[in-house]
Structure 1
């Protein structure tokens, strides 16, 4: 278990799954006010985090787009982007500033799917069980087909390339959480 007083997302089982996805999305985005609002303990080191982000993800060309890790050709990349955009459209989501396959978008989309599942069940919406099942199916398919392979590759590369404690901890938290999620989503599917 990774220990770091300044950062922890997946270490605690009390943190809901959706919140973990959102926090990881913020942690992998460009360090700004959003990061400070989620991780206020890092406010004094914001400039250092920005420099490390620029070094890792811009200068060293560690790309935060799932298509860069899953597609073997331009054709596959185009198909993957279309599939991701199809998932987003089915749940009323549009990407504004980034490519659809940006890991930050994909992590945030998983956050949304979990929220929609929980909301349907909690609010007792008509056909709640069916709506929740649709969200669960989408979580599994999206996670396994798009998010998991790319996020795993990115997490490993961050762990190898960065000495910054925020980013190394983020990488370890991401990898640990991905493993937990894969087990959960596969187990849910087997029990259906």
Structure 2
């Protein structure tokens, strides 16, 4: 009986530490409040080649706005500098990272151009797609379900988190409704 107990205890311990890498828990999932914490902004400029630039965006490239979205900690209330504006279809998706881990639910946003073989026809909710987007570890190549979509202007932004820390460059994406004009005195 004691041997069975020790075996079960060892098994539970091993399973409990299966998501640990180098002494730190792997951080490629969405935290409980569904805000993303770790994004890869390194090739954002290259990834937007071929996107349709917005002809008359509400927020012009180079202008600033207040961020209403809280996709990441310290994002809401920060001042954004607009570095790109594109007319597209933005989707909320649910996917399981290719690197393993928990399902990421209701991720905002993946755009039409970041879905394999997308073409120009909008996807309907509950459609299964393959992501080309590489915003997070394990996102590129993942199978996703379209939760909803909207034709809109999306913005790539730079901002400094309200929680302090390093300036975030080329964050993708926020929509027009997730930005607010800065009131001039």
> Structure 2-normalised TM-score?
0.27
Higher strand share: 2
Higher relative contact order (CA 8 A, sep 6+): 1
> Structure 1-normalised TM-score?
0.26
Larger Cα Rg: Structure 1 or Structure 2?
A: 2
Higher helix share: 1
